[in-house]
Structure 1
Amino acid sequence: MSFLHRLSLSIIAFLFISVAAVNAADCPDIVKTALNATDSACSAVGRNQACYGNISLTAEPQAGIVAFNFTKPGDLADIVGMKQLVLSPLDAKADTWGVALMKVQANLPDTLPGQNVSFVLFGDVQIDNAVGAAATLDVSAKQSANLREQPSKTGKVVFALKSGMALVADGISDDGAWLRVHSADSTVQGWVSTTVLTVTGDLKTLAVVKSDAPRYSPMQAFYFKSGLNDAPCSQAPDSGILIQTPQGAGKISLNVDGADITLGSTAYFQAQASGEMTLSVVEGQGTVTAGGKTVIVPAGSRARVPLDANLTANGTPVGPEPYDAASLGALPLKLVPQTIAIAPAYDPNAAIIPTPGKWLFSVNSVTAGKGCPSGMEQFITAAMFPKNTLTIPDGPFDLKQIFDSSGSRMPASAVVTHPQPNEYDADFSDSGSKVHFVLNITSPGAIGGTLSVEGQGCQLNLDVSMTLSA
């Protein structure tokens, strides 16, 4: 090999190493600058809005949306009009890293406009809004009337409307005779005949919806994918979505890649087509339901859901399993409103002792299983179950004693088991129905679980939680 040839190769190698070193050195600065820029540019983002945080990203509006401008940092757009958002991965050479913020209402009531679910999207992420830009109309009852679970005169009555009661209509039956309505705080919802309503606006603008279709607000249901193991430096997180629910708001419901998610926490999502979606709970607790199976995901753990080529859940979730806490250290926590620390990796064998005192027992959601009549899920909602006060005394965790402290005594024939650390189960019969109770202690101040009630061929699955009273 000639001297000049060796010299040329040496120069090329030196330049390659130099560029790589510069890129590695630039990576932490790009992350820091991007997060600071997003924090500053997006300070005014409001409910059901998205904010362009850092270059580069592209957005596509819903069909028919004309006034849509989302091209530079600081731009805001209503997510009801957003169809798709695509962010760029971190590229140190091009000095780009796509970052966006969203404030999503989800199932929070209209009466609490200051509370929102915070989404932080970063890196190689594509998110598609699964909720169309559906129109709504203000309506009010002309007279006393029945709100029904189905658009039919034979549908079960779920609420008695009073004359003058204000509601919001978000859908119409295929025959145009019934409107799907809800109250401003979403505690009342169902179907009501158009003949008993005063309608502001044109009924033709409402979408035709099926009687059993769930009602989602914009971006409460979405499909997304993200890069995998793509952080170019330790100061950068792998691409994904960080979601934080407002403190004290209870469980927030989402539908992500076809899986039902509940969160009362901060969680990190990643997903790949023909791969899996991963939900890592870094604070609080979540649940994931897919393929008829629900998994409780405590802080410090993750659950994985298999996805098909269309980013749709096509199997049951796996977990909970400990996550690698060190790999989550670079998550952009400064962009979520509540200051938190990333929980250490979940140890399923470590006993957790609940704090003695008064606790609140809540039903967060209700899902109708096989054999239940159509519309049952809309009829039986979490709003039907008031919060109960329970007492956890000093000493060993005694599920029966705690249950009895609420005033609803557990039958003497109940079988209570402790199948694994921090899990307590109970099985008994009540008024001819079979009851299966599972509680999982996830922290000294938080307990999650499920309650299944089966009777007359119908199984109802309730997501429940216990929280330490303030």
Structure 2
Amino acid sequence: MPIIGSYADNHPQSSQSCPEVVQTALQAADALCEATGRNQVCYGNIQLEAVPQTDVTDFQFSQIGDIEDVTDLASLRLSPMDTTTGEWGVALMRLQANLPDTLPGQNVTFILFGDVELTNAVTQDDILSGNYSPMQAFYLRTGIGDAQCEEAPQSGMLVQTPEGVGQISFVINEIEVQLGSTAFFQAGTLDSLQVATLEGAATLKVADNVYPVVAGTRYGVELLADSRRFVPVPDLPTAYEPELIQSLPLGLLDRPFEVQPPLDKNQLEEVLDRLESGKPLCGDADFLPSCDHLSEDAGGTPCIMPDESGNYPPGSDTTRPLCDINLRTGGDYNWCVVEPGPDDSPLGEHETRPICPPPGEHPDCIMPPQPGVEPPLDDGRPFCNEIYHEDDQRDDEHRDDSSSGDDD
């Protein structure tokens, strides 16, 4: 089985300091991985060793900026930092996970960096049967505590779900993860998993045991060596150390957010009291996530993805809120729909909204800004959604006038 990505392909010509290696790597990944689409992986920075699936013959993944489908990837190994050679492996994936095909513009972002090994656990039969989407299950091993300078994060994997889509599910090291937020994952072995949640909440589920991890804490599980039983590590959630998250490459994620500081002593005691009493870790304390960011297994009320008509799917729990699928792009974006890519499913037959114009490429209007972002002061054009609503209103008035004329 060939290994793609060799030392000679991308070898830098001079050594760099640790901060320089980090800066160079993240700038390269940010610039060259922007076009990564759904269920694709991008070569962000040297050095990566990729092994394609046995039946794949056309697999080009040896240079920074190379992009391949994750279905063609069997395994990926990233190099730890080496300041002599300038190596520090970075890869980016955008995965569908359990998002519906009707949301082609929404993806879960995975950023891998440093000493990381990833092995695809999803087969083609899994995809065809609908059990998993591409790379929705995988094995992960990472370095632990290996940052070489303050500017460098520890090796690991940063994951962010889209806004407003409820809980996203995937499987790491045979441990089910439910995530409605942004979190940092590490795994010293293939039989363990540690997560530090930066916003919202994550839930680890294994052998019918549920381990919630709210923002500001870290928690994990590992398999006992003398049995097939997973145990929590540490025994209870704890506040994460500031140095664990201070240098994470948050700029490579798709949306900005406010990082939850580590919980203080009183807040952590509240979390532990709730765990002991069985009360959900959400809702009525300002440092806890809203209940729609916590999995149902952990006592939350995550939103339900609407059907193509925007209604509750048949048989769903109507006491839970519907997901607001337009929050990802911010502003009043429900006036248009993201155009599907070549590998995405077509839009639903009941979809009547126009295709959203690419940001900055519409001559007569500008796209609404992201939440919390000020619109450009020197641009006098109206927002595109306002134009659309005005046109739609005029069409309705015209239809009303026509109807009145017919009655006469």
Task: Tell me the residue number matched to 1:53.
Answer: 44
Match of 1:288 among 196, 201, 204: 204
- C-alpha deviation, 1:258, in angstroms: 1.0
Match of 1:75 among 54, 66, 80: 66
- C-alpha deviation, 1:465, in angstroms: 2.5
Q: Distance in 2 between matches of 1:351 and 1:59?
A: 41
Is 1:117–1:243's contact at 8 Å kept on the other side of the alignment? yes
Gap change, CA 1:349 and 1:227, over 3 Å in 2: same
Match of 2:99 among 91, 102, 108: 108
Task: Tell me the residue number matched to 1:271.
Answer: 187
1:440-455 to 2 correspondences below 5 Å: 440-441=281-282, 444=286, 446-447=290-291
Task: Tell me the residue number matched to 2:375.
Answer: none
Is 1:294–1:317's contact at 8 Å kept on the other side of the alignment? no
Give yes or no for the alignment of 1:35 onto 2:5: no
**Offset from partner CA, 1:163-198 (integer Å, 9 cap, x none):** xxxxxxx23xxxxxxxxxx6xxxxxxxxxxxxxxxx
Task: Tell me the residue number matched to 1:92.
Answer: 83
Give yes or no for the alignment of 1:259 onto 2:170: no
Gap change, CA 1:53 and 1:274, over 3 Å in 2: closer
- Number of matched pairs: 286
Is 2:45–2:90's contact at 8 Å kept on the other side of the alignment? yes
Gap change, CA 1:338 and 1:227, over 3 Å in 2: same
How much identity, in percent, do the aligned residues show? 40
Tell me the amino acid that sits aligned with residue 37 of structure 2. Answer: G
Give yes or no for the alignment of 1:222 onto 2:138: yes
Q: Distance in 1 between matches of 2:216 and 2:222?
A: 21
Tell me the amino acid that sits aligned with residue 246 of structure 2. Answer: G
**Offset from partner CA, 1:186-225 (integer Å, 9 cap, x none):** xxxxxxxxxxxxxxxxxxxxxxxxxxxxx11111111010
Q: Distance in 1 between matches of 2:281 and 2:126?
A: 41
Q: Distance in 1 between matches of 2:72 and 2:290?
A: 37
Give yes or no for the alignment of 1:439 onto 2:277: no
Tell me the amino acid that sits aligned with residue 255 of structure 1. Answer: V
Q: Distance in 2 between matches of 1:256 and 1:78?
A: 19
Shifted more, 313-322 versus 325-334: the winner is 313-322
Is 1:348–1:421's contact at 8 Å kept on the other side of the alignment? no
Unaligned runs of 5+ in 2: 1-13, 304-319, 325-408
Greater share of strand residues, 1 or 2? 1
Q: Distance in 2 between matches of 1:300 and 1:462?
A: 17
Give yes or no for the alignment of 1:464 onto 2:300: yes
Gap change, CA 1:314 and 1:332, over 3 Å in 2: farther
Is 2:167–2:294's contact at 8 Å kept on the other side of the alignment? no
- Greater Rg, structure 1 or structure 2? 1
- C-alpha deviation, 1:313, in angstroms: 7.9
- C-alpha deviation, 1:291, in angstroms: 3.3
- C-alpha deviation, 1:243, in angstroms: 0.5
Match of 1:342 among 251, 255, 259: 259
Give yes or no for the alignment of 1:244 onto 2:160: yes
- C-alpha deviation, 1:450, in angstroms: 7.2
- C-alpha deviation, 1:351, in angstroms: 8.9
Tell me the amino acid that sits aligned with residue 300 of structure 2. Answer: V
* Superposition CA RMSD, Å: 3.0
Q: Distance in 1 between matches of 2:174 and 2:67?
A: 27
Tell me the amino acid that sits aligned with residue 328 of structure 1. Answer: I
Partner of 1:37: helix, strand, or coil? helix
TM-score (norm 1): 0.56
**Offset from partner CA, 1:356-401 (integer Å, 9 cap, x none):** xxxxxxxxxxxxxxxxxxxxxxxxxxxxxxxxxxxxxxxxxxxxxx
